[in-house]
């Protein structure tokens, strides 16, 4: 199977690397050319446009920042859809809203090709280690055909049904992650403000019912207010919270905590933390301390 890969950011670069290491022929395109070198060293072929990637691949995978970025590589004369051949596949692994996915499916089907949305859970390290959770929905035939490639990127791979279900599942997942991380930041800020040892707070959390790998990874960084090496950019978490709220509005489900947490992330974005890891939201919480005393 010849694979195309469009979008070589933190996640896309790691996922394309794993496909190349597994022996797939991979043709790539990215807006910024500085991402190509390590992949070319592994045998990747660089194409001149998303359209050229699709035209030379059995399946083209996209891993884009947000819905706007998906549209910019999907549509137009040089876009993925323009290059799709009948019987080929378009697999969008970006985290986007349902409307974007449904339109991608419609356009793909119009070319006689198959579509699958397949957003992922897991960050930079799981992408590098090929241990992502992949939530897929759309054309079952494409899901079945691409198993050999999906297995080189993820360890838990789920088929969720019709297009839209994977986007919904991913947004529900990230709403929980944003909420839990915010609670951790607030707990650490409160403990620190009370003169407690934050390392001991992390120890207490780790021995109780809310023990989890994210707390073990991010907790010490948040407590130390270190530079936050970017695994999941804060701007993408805010995008996911915004899309979750949009989805909730569509189905009439109030999200009381998520609405507030989204405001916190918007504040972090306004403070220039968009490219930092999403754990950097703790800076906004800590900097508010003086206002509350």
Cβ-defined contacts of 176-181 (< 8 Å, 24+) = 177/214, 177/237, 178/237, 178/240, 178/241, 178/258, 178/261, 178/265, 178/278, 179/257, 179/258, 179/261, 180/210, 180/212, 180/214, 181/214, 181/218, 181/278, 181/279, 181/281
Give the nearer residue to ligand NAP in terms of CB position, either 27 or 30. 30
Give the nearer residue to ligand NAP in terms of CB position, either 137 or 189. 137
Q: Shortest distance, CB of residue 258 to ligand NAP, whole angstroms?
A: 16
Q: Write down the catalytic residue from 170, 218, 235, 239.
A: 170
Q: Which residue is nearest to ligand NAP (CB)?
A: 9
Tokens 């339109």 identify what position? Answer: 103
Residues with Cβ within 8 Å of 262's Cβ and at least 6 positions away in sequence, in order, are 238, 241, 242, 245
Tokens 């220039």 identify what position? Answer: 272
For residue 170, indicate whether it is catalytic: yes
230 CB neighbour count, 10 Å cutoff:
17
Q: Shortest distance, CB of residue 67 to ligand NAP, whole angstroms?
A: 9
Give the nearer residue to ligand NAP in terms of CB position, either 35 or 192. 35
Q: Shortest distance, CB of residue 209 to ligand NAP, whole angstroms?
A: 25
Q: Shortest distance, CB of residue 278 to ligand NAP, whole angstroms?
A: 8
In the complex, which residues of this chain contact ligand NAP (CB under 6 A)? 7-12, 30-32, 35, 63-66, 68-69, 72-73, 94-95, 120, 123-124, 231-233, 236
Active site residues: 170
């Amino acid at each position: 199977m010849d694979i195309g890969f469009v979008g070589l950011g933190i996640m896309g670069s790691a996922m394309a690397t794993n496909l190349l290491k597994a022996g797939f022929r991979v043709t790539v395109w990215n807006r910024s050319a500085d991402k190509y070198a390590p992949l070319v060293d592994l045998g990747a072929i660089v194409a001149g446009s998303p359209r050229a990637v699709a035209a030379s691949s059995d399946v083209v995978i996209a891993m884009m920042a947000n819905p706007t970025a998906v549209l910019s590589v999907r549509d137009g004369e040089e876009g993925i859809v323009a290059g799709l051949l009948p019987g080929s596949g378009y697999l969008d692994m970006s985290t986007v809203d349902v409307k974007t996915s449904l339109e991608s499916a419609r356009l793909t089907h119009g070319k006689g090709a198959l579509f699958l949305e397949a957003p992922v859970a897991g960050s930079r390290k799981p992408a590098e280690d090929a241990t992502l959770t992949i939530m897929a929905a759309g054309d079952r035939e494409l899901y079945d055909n691409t198993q050999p490639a999906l297995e080189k990127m993820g360890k838990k791979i789920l088929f969720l049904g019709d297009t839209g279900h994977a986007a919904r599942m991913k947004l529900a997942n990230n709403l929980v992650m944003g909420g839990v991380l915010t609670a951790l930041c607030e707990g650490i800020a409160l403990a620190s403000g009370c003169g407690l040892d934050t390392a001991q707070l992390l120890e207490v959390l780790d021995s109780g019912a809310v023990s989890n790998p994210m707390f073990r990874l991010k907790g010490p960084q948040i407590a130390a207010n270190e530079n936050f090496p970017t695994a999941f950019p804060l701007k993408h978490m805010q995008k996911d919270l915004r899309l979750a709220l949009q989805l909730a509005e569509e189905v009439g489900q109030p999200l009381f905590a998520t609405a507030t947490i989204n405001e916190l992330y918007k504040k972090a974005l306004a403070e220039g933390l968009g490219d930092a890891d999403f754990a950097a939201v703790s800076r906004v919480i800590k900097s508010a301390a003086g206002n509350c005393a």
